Structure 1
Amino acid sequence: MSLGTALNRFFKHDAAGGIVLMGAAALAFIVANSSLSGGYHSALNTYLAVTLDGEGLQKPLILWINDGLMAIFFFLIGLELKREMLEGKLKNPRDVLLPGAAAVGGMIAPALIFLLFNWGNAETIHGWAIPAATDIAFAVGVLALLGTRAPAALKIFLLTLAILDDLGAIIIIALFYTAELKIDYLWLSLIPLAGLWWCHYKKIHRIAPIILLGVVLWFLVLKSGVHATLAGVITAFFVPLKDRFGKSPLHALEHALSPYVFFLIVPIFAFSNAGVVLSGLGLEDLVSALPLGIALGLYIGKMIGVFGVTWLLVKLGTATLPSGVTWQHIFGVACLAGIGFTMSLFIGGLSFGEGALMNEVRVGVLGGSLLSAVTGYLVLYTAGSKVAKPVAAE
């Protein structure tokens, strides 16, 4: 087998995105604790400016990545959400009930555990949403490593849960992580919004006008104080599912964009944000309220929230487990939901910016995500050898 064929097979595998993401995070950790550390942090804090007659944007590279590149990541999530709502897993409300309720439980329980450790600490309490998110690429990647040992219905359950979890994270960012509002820019943002609506109404088949209007919207939303990544989601919802020729701009764009997001943008984000600096980090820092609240929120909170709500709904007769899925499978997925990584680091950056607290955030996110991944894999590996029987509501 040639190298090109092997690489092509690797990148088509469901686990590829998670593996590349882990590699980028590991590389960040190595570089941040090597002789290259100074250059690494200096490069991330280098200011880049795009201005016209003194007006425009001037930000360090790390914020161009987190506010700019991640807007493309959220754009892809928006495309996926719209597709699933119109013709996929989120179309039938009955199919959404169980994973949807599990996603809500899996956001509330981690936040409560975080608050339990950080209540009364004004410096850290606003990071309560950090352990509430699930990383789709990582979680699905770990599940894919199990191959046929995991039922197909379990992957659908996890995907639906993770998609709804991302939707919840988007809502949280919009409501709780918005800076001081500049209303004039919000009013101006109505202009590209009107253009996007017109493109959708006319079912145009060209993507370029939508992307251009989305970039203008991103700039105005960023200047308004609302987090700019939300512009990516909003733009995605105006991409037509079907154009006037019967083709699908949404499908085409999602298919074209996915490799660049999962194999370039998200790894760049991971490399830029996962560099935990061990120098000066003592045992007391590892078990302080912030990293401990995040790690246990991801590891224990997701288990309790996802599994507990699923168990309650089935026992109440409100829902049934998917065909071929056992309670051990559900517990394994509840563990995998604790892999927060991308979204957790992103919300951590919104909460604390850079500095000592962000380093503690990285410790908590990486620790909790790693424990969740290993536990979830082991639980599902042993469950996969059993004959699964459908579990009906009692």
Structure 2
Amino acid sequence: MARRITLDFLKTESASGLILTTAALAAVLLANSPWAEHYFAFIKHEIPVQIGPFHEVKPVYKWIKDGLMAIFFFVVGLEIKHEILRGELSNPRRLALPVLAAIGGMAAPALVYLLINAGANGSPQGWPTPTATDIAFALAALAVAAPRLPSSLRIFLLTLAIADDLGAVALIAILFTSDVNLYALGGAAAAIGLMALMSQWKTAPYLFYAACFALAWAFCLKSGVNTSLAGVAAAMTVPIDPRKPGHEGPLKHFMESLHPYVAFLILPLFAFAAAGFSFQGLSISTLFNPVPLGIALGLFVGKQIGIFGVAALVIGLKLARRPTGAKWLELYGVSLLCGVGFTMSLFIGGLAFDPNDTLAQTEVRMGVIVGSVVSTLVGMIVLSIAQRKRDLASD
């Protein structure tokens, strides 16, 4: 039964890949069409929300990123907790592999970027930009290119990408958070603590979990810390054991209930709001400036070297094992897909440079786009070859 949860999760993730890709493509086309003004007006339209003492005004894009995506991180946190306790990652040696690979996958792109931007004309402050992996797009590319590869590879990619993005969130909190409201942060911690205490109450209504999660999210939003942390932290408090023999546990209930909404609604909405950008001001020569070149090579070269290199080293030293049933070529293909920084890299790049510096923002977009697209295409080619070899061997 525990294994069934993971398979259903990955099946839904694969099915949502086409919708996610379509939403992103639609955003790019609209942003460069006669209707571009309407598209940007929509994602920038400010919506006020007031519930009791809580009052916040944010544009549509921000509500999706800071609001709905917290639910995405909550569901991902549930999946990771399930895999650690009952699934593929219950073996500490298997957990070590994606976590250590994620560290390599953040360090190597940063070093590549800094190496290219070490000169007088460089901009070293942009080094965090290529460290992130876009979970949704990487999983979608894997689902399209090689749907029949072992599910352990998808779990490896999911865990690695989450560790990678949590590292990116930490970088945002440390490097780009100027003001942190400690009182609000304490309120978020208290709400998470209440959820942890509630895990001891076997008959706690699910509505209580929802209320505590909403409180944690609201406090986290007011604290200035990224709300994705609230989602993951809240997921870690949800008990996995059934309340009664023969019944499903709260963790399974939340996973099965929320995941279709995340896969088919929240992620496509986020892709539609975040992927739209204008090609205006972009040129081929711009790509060879230090900033876009450092980002593009950081994502394409740095990611694969850091992730596959560390994974091979860790496995060679017998500190961890390869994902169950996975071959080296398949692991390399997944490492390439981790170079899809896209939305998170665009977000971090926007923070690393002055938002009023049009040239710098244009260079960030170009570097992220080129690095992500090349990583996607090469990764999908490698995984398609691996899939074909596996299919021929099974005939």
User: TM class, shorter-chain normalised?
Assistant: 0.7 to 0.9
1-structure distance, mates of 2:240, 2:112: 40
1-structure distance, mates of 2:383, 2:40: 39
| TM-score, length-scaled by structure 2 | 0.84
Map 1:287-326 to 2 at 5 A: 287-322=288-323, 324-326=325-327
Aligned match of 1:18: 17
The Cα shift of 1:204 comes to: 3.9
Query: Any conservation in 2 of the 1:291–1:363 contact (CA below 8 Å)?
Result: yes
Instruction: Report Cα offsets for 1:104-129 as digits up to 9, x if no partner.
Output: 21121112222333458999644433
1-structure distance, mates of 2:186, 2:322: 46
Query: Any conservation in 1 of the 2:19–2:264 contact (CA below 8 Å)?
Result: yes
2-structure distance, mates of 1:359, 1:255: 40
Unaligned ranges ≥5, structure 1 = 1-10, 389-394
The Cα shift of 1:52 comes to: 6.4
Query: Any conservation in 2 of the 1:274–1:362 contact (CA below 8 Å)?
Result: no
CA pair 176-122 structure 1, distance change in 2 beyond 3 A: farther
CA pair 274-147 structure 1, distance change in 2 beyond 3 A: closer
Q: More deviation in 105-114 or 339-348? A: 339-348
Aligned match of 2:212: 213
- 3-state SS of paired residue (1:282): coil
Map 1:94-133 to 2 at 5 A: 94-119=93-118, 125-133=124-132
The Cα shift of 1:53 comes to: 8.3
Aligned match of 2:277: 276
State whether structure 2 residue 378 is matched by structure 1 residue 379. no
2-structure distance, mates of 1:190, 1:327: 42
Query: Any conservation in 2 of the 1:177–1:227 contact (CA below 8 Å)?
Result: no
2-structure distance, mates of 1:240, 1:207: 12
State whether structure 2 residue 234 is matched by structure 1 residue 231. no
Aligned match of 1:5: none
Aligned match of 2:260: 259
Aligned match of 2:86: 87
1-structure distance, mates of 2:336, 2:155: 16
CA pair 57-163 structure 1, distance change in 2 beyond 3 A: closer
CA pair 146-244 structure 1, distance change in 2 beyond 3 A: same
2-structure distance, mates of 1:200, 1:122: 54
Query: Any conservation in 2 of the 1:352–1:358 contact (CA below 8 Å)?
Result: yes
- 3-state SS of paired residue (1:366): helix
State whether structure 2 residue 167 is matched by structure 1 residue 164. no
Instruction: Report Cα offsets for 1:305-329 as digits up to 9, x if no partner.
Output: 1121122234444445456544322
Query: Any conservation in 2 of the 1:118–1:293 contact (CA below 8 Å)?
Result: yes
2-structure distance, mates of 1:165, 1:33: 31
Instruction: Report Cα offsets for 1:250-288 as digits up to 9, x if no partner.
Output: 111111211211221111111111112012323343333
Q: More deviation in 50-59 or 208-217? A: 50-59
The Cα shift of 1:226 comes to: 1.6
1-structure distance, mates of 2:120, 2:36: 31
2-structure distance, mates of 1:164, 1:253: 21
2-structure distance, mates of 1:354, 1:249: 43
Taking only aligned residues, the RMSD between alpha carbons, in angstroms, comes to 3.1
Q: What is the count of residue pairs matched by the alignment?
A: 379
2-structure distance, mates of 1:102, 1:363: 26
Aligned match of 2:366: 363
2-structure distance, mates of 1:191, 1:387: 50
Query: Any conservation in 1 of the 2:70–2:230 contact (CA below 8 Å)?
Result: yes
Task: Tell me the percent identity.
Answer: 44
Aligned match of 1:58: 57
The one-letter amino acid of 1:35's match is P
Query: Any conservation in 2 of the 1:143–1:150 contact (CA below 8 Å)?
Result: no
The one-letter amino acid of 2:43's match is L
| TM-score, length-scaled by structure 1 | 0.84
Q: More deviation in 97-106 or 346-355? A: 346-355
The Cα shift of 1:216 comes to: 1.6
Instruction: Report Cα offsets for 1:22-55 as digits up to 9, x if no partner.
Output: 2111111110111111111122222211236896
1-structure distance, mates of 2:390, 2:45: 56
The Cα shift of 1:352 comes to: 5.4
2-structure distance, mates of 1:53, 1:249: 29
The Cα shift of 1:212 comes to: 1.3
CA pair 114-79 structure 1, distance change in 2 beyond 3 A: same
1-structure distance, mates of 2:340, 2:299: 7
CA pair 319-352 structure 1, distance change in 2 beyond 3 A: same
2-structure distance, mates of 1:173, 1:19: 30
Aligned match of 1:392: none
Moved over 6 A (4+): 52-55, 120-123
- 3-state SS of paired residue (1:242): coil
The one-letter amino acid of 2:262's match is V
CA pair 384-46 structure 1, distance change in 2 beyond 3 A: closer
Aligned match of 2:198: 199
1-structure distance, mates of 2:327, 2:113: 29
